[in-house]
Structures are given as structure tokens and as C-alpha cells.
Amino acid sequence: MAKRNNLIILILTIGVFGIINTEMGVIGILPLIADHFQVSVSKAGWFVSLFALAVAISGPTMPLLFSGINRKTAMLLVLGVFVLGNIVSIFASNFTIALIARVIPAFFHPIYCSMAFTLAATSVSKEEAPKAVSKVIMGVSAGMVLGVPVTTFIANSTSLEMAMSFFAIVNAIVFIATLLFVPSMPVTERLSYGAQLIVLKKSITWLSIAAVIFINSAIFGVYSYLAEYLEIITNMSWKTISLMLVIYGAANIIGNIVAGKLLTKNAVKSAASFPFALGAVYIVLFSLGQFTVPMAFIILVWGILAGIGTNIAQYWITSAAPEAPDFANGLFLTSTNLGTTIGTAVGGLFISGIGTQYVVLGGLLSLILSSVCILLRNYIYSPAKQLSR
């Protein structure tokens, strides 16, 4: 049983990597996409922005609609849609067709990811659930921060079509592995839509959503401009910047491993401490960001904390609505995408208003707001408060 569960978790991790890599991997090849379809780079950016928008819209709704369907069937459907969309993107000669081929799978993205988190958590004991989920979130981290340099390398070494083929191959491998090794998983106790939507009536759910939005805003509002920061403030070469991005990605994966242990030991304390830990890193970043050696160490610690933060965000929402796990994971995906959008916008405002170095201030502002939401939830819903009611 343990070996089977480990295999399923591995397949889920690679599956999540393939889906997130499809979303984020194009970031490094947007200029090539623009040249290939003869459009501007900003228009090519729709490959990223419209994908993220589709995920944010479908995050709470699609997992809800598919909550009564056999989970293996649902995951195969999603993977099949991604493989088909990737194949169309490879051979499309028209920008609009290629864009549609990317956006349609994006609407199915939350189904697979929310089910992957739920399955990982339910495949082990309640106490070990955070560790199991952290392994799957490793696939998210790998897709977000390692997928970009890998895809960029493939595109620059071979062609744009080969880079796009990488997305299709990974998703196809997971489709076959799911078909062969994942058992049928019918939903034995289907929750009604109303029973799942009722979690939105609880203030703890909204406090958790707000906290997650601000956590992701704090992380990606600064990380999105890391390359620019390293070029302008630290004066690094692009070769060194690429190395720093890889270090950040590797550290992010380490953070997932650490997070599993922290959340298993004391989840509430870990969540409450996170904004202060990342805030300290940002203050050091602001003070020493112009120095290369300290910056490399900062990026290492920052990457580890970012990995921890993603796990805390997932736990924070699902623990607020344990009675509707798939729906809660959908809310998590929507919240993180909204946080990324808001954080990137705020960071851009700070850069355009007062300079690149001050993008850190946007991150600190988001951390303050996330800390308020976390501490407020801990205060209102502490065991002592609940017993006194």
C-alpha cells in the first residue's frame, strides 16, 4: 500500500509539474513566440496573462463541477486536453489559434491540481498529510521556476517547436502513467454543490483567502522583477542572472521539503512566523542588494522561504474548509493567481514610481497585510476562543 501511494504521489507531482510548466514555461521564450507569429512581445505575453486569468476564473468553479466524477477519469480528461492543446500549439501557424489552444486547457488546470492536492492528503494519515502535499507542490515549484530555464534552453538550442513539444511530452507521459498505474477512484460520498459552497459563508474562509492573496502577492510581486533587479541594482551579467534564477528554483524545492516538516510539527506557528521571516529577508535585500555575494545568499534563503510560503498558503485555505477539500484547493489556486497578478502590478507601480530597488516595499506591504489576516484568524479561531463560545 505504501509503495502504491508513493507511486501515485510521484505521478501527481510530475503531472502538476507538466501543467504548471505549460503555464509558466513560455515566459522565457516570449520573444521567440513573438518572432514566430510576427506579433509584439506584449501581445505574445497574452500566452501568460490569459492563461493565468482562465485559471483564476475557473479555480473555484471547475473543481466544484467535477467533484462528483471519478477522479482518475477527471485527471485523464485534463491531461488529454493539455496534450491536445500542446500539439495544436506546436503546429499552429496562426497566433489566435495557438492562443486558443493554450487558454482552453487553462480552464481545466484547477481540476487536476486541486484533485492532486486532495489525493496526496488523503493517501496518508491526517498527521502526514502536509508532507504528502508538499511533495506534490514540489511539482508546482519545479514547473514555475525550473521550467522556465529548461524550456528556454531547449528553444535556444533547437527550436521553438521543440520547446513546445517538451510540454506535450511531459503531459503525455503522465497521461500514460495515470492510465496504467493510478487505480479507479470513484467518489463514494459526493458532496452537493450547496454543501461545498457553504464554506464561503464562514469568515475563516475569507480571512484565509485574503492571507493567501497577500502571501503570493508578497512573493511574486518581488520575484517577478528579480531578473531586472539583478541587472540594474546588482549589476550582474545575464549569464550570472540565469544561475541565480536556477539557485532560486532549487532552493524553492528545498523549501517544499522543509515546509512539510514545519506544517506537520506546528502549522499555526509556521504560518504566523512566515511573514516576519520573509520580511527580514526583504529588508536585507533592500540594504545589501547591490553586492553580488550577499545577493547570492539572499536568493538562496529567499527561495527556500518562497517554497515554504506556497505550502503554507495551500494548508491555510484547505484547513479553513476541510469539509470541501477539492473546492478549497480550487479557492487556493484562484487566490494564488490573484495574488500574483496584484503583486506584480503593485511591484510595477513601485518600480515606475520610485525605482527598481523599491520593488521590495511592495512585497513588505503585502507581508504586513498577510500577517494581519493570519494573526486575526489565529485570534478569532484559537481553541481558547472556540471553547468560550
More confident position, 316 or 225: 316
Residue 329 one-letter amino acid: N
59, 176 contact by CB (below 8 A) = no
If phi > 0 it is left, if psi is from -120 to 50 it is alpha, else beta; for residue 235 that is: left
Q: Is the pLDDT of residue 319 over 80?
A: yes
Q: What is the mean pLDDT of residues 83-89?
A: 95
C-alpha cell, 249:
528554483
Phi-psi category of residue 18: left, alpha or beta, with phi > 0 → left and psi -120 to 50 → alpha = alpha
pLDDT digits (tens, 9 = 90+) for 345-374: 888 889 888 888 999 999 999 999 999 999
Architecture of the structural domain at 1-189: Up-down Bundle (1.20)
Residue listed under C-alpha cell 500539439: 87
Residues 6+ apart with CB under 8 A from 43: 34, 95
Distance between CA atoms of residues 178 and 134, nearest Å? 20
Convert the pLDDT of each residue in 269-288 to its tens digit.
Answer: 999 999 999 999 999 999 99
Q: How far apart are CA 350 and CA 344, in angstroms?
A: 10
What confidence tier does 389 reach under pLDDT thresholds 50, 70, 90? Answer: very low
**What band does 387 get if pLDDT is binned at 50, 70 and 90?**
very low
The band of 135, judged by pLDDT with boundaries at 50, 70 and 90, is confident
How many helices and strands, by DSSP H and E, does the chain display? 18, 0
Helix residue ranges, H only, 289-358: 292-318, 325-354
Domain(s) of CATH 1.20.1250.20: residues in the chain: 1-189, 191-389
What dotted CATH number matches 191-389?
Answer: 1.20.1250.20
Task: State pTM to two decimals.
Answer: 0.79
Statement: residue 169 has pLDDT above 80: yes
pLDDT tens-digit profile of 7-46? 888 999 999 999 988 888 887 788 788 899 998 877 888 8
d(CA 352, CA 346): 10
Sign of the alpha-carbon dihedral angle for 296, 301, 303, 304: positive
pLDDT of residue 386: 46
Q: Determine the Cα–Cα distance for residues 359 and 286; give it in Å rounded to an integer.
A: 9
